[in-house]
Structure 1
Amino acid sequence: MSTRSRDRVKAVRDLEWVMSSPHLLSSEGDVFLSPAMCLRILDDPVTIAWLEGLHVDPTPLHTFLGQQLRRIDKTSLDLGVYFTSLVEYWLRACPALCNDRLVVAASSAQLKFVFRCNESPWLSIAPCHSIHMHWEASVKFFLLCEPTTTTTTTSSFINLGLTAGGETLASRIAKMQRKVRMCTENASVSRWLSAHFEWTQANVVIQSHILLRGYLYYPLALLASTTSTLSSTRVELPSAINADHLRGWWSSDVEADLIRTTPPSSRFAILPKLFWLSKVSSAPSNDDDHTQHIVGGPGVPSLPLLSRADVVAACRAHFSSSPTAKPLVVAELRESEHATTFVEVSRGAFIAQLSLALGDDGISYSVVKAEVARVLMHRKGRYLVQCLVVLVEEEDGNLFRIGQLMLDARGLVHADDDDDGGIDHVMTTIIPDKTKWWSVRFLLKAKHVLGGASASSPRHDQ
């Protein structure tokens, strides 16, 4: 990250990160939004002036993010919504992107972004003056959890949240690829797009792209320091992973690993999720040059800098509070060249007890999923529906991962007899019960997996 970008207002820094950070996966083929296309946008003088203007006065961006907050009726944006909101702001507000129509999260497949544009930087994509584009955008953070072999696969990386149903990088890739294919392979989606954009298949070129940003975290036990990279002689990464992806480290032995891999002068900041995107740097607190903090933004409090001993103590307190305490993401900072601020040099995650394998037997999530799929293969679709309904009706959310596992496993099974009528029924019964609202998104996913999603109208367009 350039010094100019690092010093920008947090939301503007994150906005630029959305377009400038590398893909997690390699750019083979045309599926992923090409780095060259992103660079064309970022290097456009109009874009540069726009970003500088937002740094001077970020009110338009802050206002837009506030509108997103009110739309979802929450007190704070979760990271996924924050990320996609920043992508949407690029498409709506960047003057270098000449989009005359944008549809967000519309159609039965809930496509992320579909838009029509008329001028650069898109003209090099197709030989026509009007281009229709579809983007699937997502930000994800995965841990390498099976480093015992020299060769890994995308299934060896599991979602950092550990509560996301055991999602692996492989399953995320498959999900986004299915979304990309829907524009051309799903009849109901094609009909909706044709009606909304007034096109026919004969005269339209639609470009579908994946925008997948984030970090891959590697075991600190395999690294010489927090700023070193994993040697290919220790672990060979699959070719699907971008060689230039953003890297971090993870540890479940905080004190021992930090003493071994960091200098005593390092400072640390425990990062809430809205700080997980762009790199951070410090600034003087309350005009006191001897106290530094990381500046937040509207609704995002500033963060203190911690010594190595302080961050170890904070982790110990956090993980002793609950056996299911969530991971802590931290930034390691060191003094800048001029010793006036601290700048981020590495990103890491602390985990109490790595639940990436079941028990001590090394049974991976992918193995369990395959076994569940084998069971479902011999059952009718209604069996799965009944299991999911029972989970929602009888549980408070603690078995949420079991339902996610069953849905992921169903994706491995070819079935034509799925029946989601039971899901429709349970959705009507949980609406009045706020204690069950945690399950709404899960049930919508179930309807989609089981082929029962019905068309919806676009959230908004321009």
Structure 2
Amino acid sequence: MTPADTITPFHDPAVRDLAWLLFSPDLLSASHAGAPLARPTATEIEREAALVWLAALDRDPAALHAQVHKPSLTRLGFYAEALLEYFLTHGPHARLIAANIPLRTAERTLGEVDFLLENVRGDRLHWELAVKFYLHIGEGKGAATLAHYVGPNLQDRFDLKHARLLNHQLGLSARDEFVTLGFEGPWRAEMFVKGRLFYRDDGLNRSLVSNPPPELAGDHLRGWWKTASEWRDSKADGLFASLPRLGWMAERILSAQEGDALVEQTAVLSERVATLSSPIMVARYERYERYDGHDSSTGDVWREHSRGFIVPDEWPARAADFATDFATDFAT
């Protein structure tokens, strides 16, 4: 069973996003990440227990909604943290000790520890969660590095985030100042890094990376990106919808009725792209005649065919400059 097969049976969007956090592929390779990777379901028994728990939650997600559907959770990172905190608090095999623990000195704030937990084997773990969506910028004739993966708004870069995780965030639980907070260690610090990487699709087959960075997991989730002009020239009769930021994680399945609105949504998207000023994530949908678990009058549903970013025509040049600006400060 693939990760997608594990995630798609769940109906509720928040439950599906939580399943995506738990079961989607890591962005980083376990052998080259530079630090241990978190394993929320490390064994088959833990995996099956989590799936049974998620199925029950899917039937009655009210308690989950109360925690993650708050007006204050407008940023994707905060939403992801709330989902994972719910799992660690109420899930079948981990015990949350504390979350979002600020570490301060008299002069300044040093940082914040995302999660402290104890697993079923008694390991005391410190998890740092990052959910990231980066676009790959061509590396020219050299080998690709994490610096060639940039955030859509050019305020973040994978190499900077990776370095900050390794050199700052993971070390917070080992600092002398943290010991004084009363959380008895030692803590095994692990990275929990999920997301999707997007590769250019301009019709010229330039999206392939012949020599990818060794830090990347081979099975990481992928998408495409195109300039506004490229998208307008290639979209043909495809049906698309823009995705709100809190909808960037798990794929959605639309009912036949929801799918009927895709023609109008594609038209609205085309108007928006004509004057595009910042990148937008979109999904392309296709109709499937049947899908177990969904009941509609026609028996049809719409599933994502692909996911990508549409960027302004001038964006690639600015992104290339950002990718090679090694003086950029660490991303937060």
Q: Compute the TM-score of the two structures, normalised by the length of structure 1.
A: 0.61
Q: Mapping of 1:364-383 within 5 angstroms?
A: 364-370=321-327
- Aligned-residue Cα RMSD (Å) equals 2.9
Distance 2:324 2:195 in 1: 25
Question: Which one has the bigger helix percentage?
Answer: 1
2:222 counterpart of 1:247: yes
Question: d(CA) in 2 for partners of 1:367 and 1:5?
Answer: 38
- 1:279-304 deviation per Cα after TM superposition (whole angstroms, max 9, x unaligned): 1111133xxxxx626xxxxxxxxxx4
Task: State the one-letter code of the partner of 1:216.
Answer: L
Per-residue deviation at 1:315? Answer: 3.9
Measured against aligned partners, the alpha-carbon deviations of 1:316-372 in whole angstroms (never above 9, x if no partner) come to: 4224456xx2212111122225371111121111011343534xxx962254443xx
Partner of 2:90: 93
TM-score by length of 2: 0.82
* Total equivalences in the alignment: 312
- Decide whether aligned partners of structure 1 residues 213 and 116 sit closer, same or farther in structure 2, where only a CA change above 3 A counts: closer
Partner of 1:240, secondary structure, is coil
Residues 187 and 222 from structure 1, CA distance in 2 versus in 1: closer, same or farther, beyond 3 angstroms?
farther
Cα distance between partner residues in 1 of 2:204 and 2:14? 32
CA distance in 1, matches of 2:303, 2:63: 27
Counterpart of 2:244 (choices 272, 290, 301) is: 272
Structure 2 stretches lacking a partner, 5+ long:
105-109, 291-298
CA distance in 2, matches of 1:367, 1:213: 24
Counterpart for residue 306 of structure 1: 263
Q: Does 1:33 align with 2:37?
A: yes
1:241 is paired with a residue whose SS is coil
1:328 partnered with 2:320: no
Choose between structure 1 and 2: higher strand proportion: 2
Q: Distance in 2 between matches of 1:42 and 1:20?
A: 14
State yes or no: 1:349 paired with 2:316: no
Matched AA of 1:317? E
Would the aligned equivalents of 2:27 and 2:216 in 1 still touch at CA under 8 Å? yes
Alignment match, 1:196: 182
Please give the secondary structure, in 1, of the residue aligned with 2:41.
Answer: helix
CA distance in 2, matches of 1:7, 1:91: 19
Match in the other structure for 2:294: none
Quick one: structure 1 residues 155 and 240, their matched pair in 2 at CA, closer, same or farther if it must change by over 3 Å? same
CA deviations 1:78-108 (Å, max 9, x no partner) are 2111111111111111132234x22324223
Mind listing any 5+ residue stretches in structure 1 that lack a counterpart? Answer: 124-128, 286-290, 294-303, 371-404, 412-441, 446-462
- Larger Cα-atom Rg: 1
Query: What displacement does 1:237 show?
Result: 1.1
Cα distance, 1:152–1:77 mapped onto 2, change above 3 Å: same
Residue 220 of structure 1 deviates from its aligned partner by 0.7
Are 1:183 and 2:173 matched, yes or no? yes
- Which residue identity is paired with 2:99? V
Q: Which residue of 2 aligns with 1:102?
A: 98
TM-aligned CA distance change 1:8 to 1:150, over 3 Å: farther
Amino acid across the alignment from 1:258: K
Q: Is the Cα contact below 8 Å between 1:105 and 1:113 reproduced in 2?
A: yes
What is the correspondence of 1:119-268 to structure 2 with a 5 Å cutoff? 120=120, 123=121, 129=122, 131-149=123-141, 151-162=143-154, 164=155, 167-178=156-167, 179-184=169-174, 186-189=175-178, 191-192=179-180, 195-197=181-183, 199=184, 204-221=185-202, 230-232=207-209, 235-252=210-227, 253-259=230-236, 264=237, 266-268=238-240
Counterpart-to-counterpart distance in 2, 1:39 and 1:279: 24
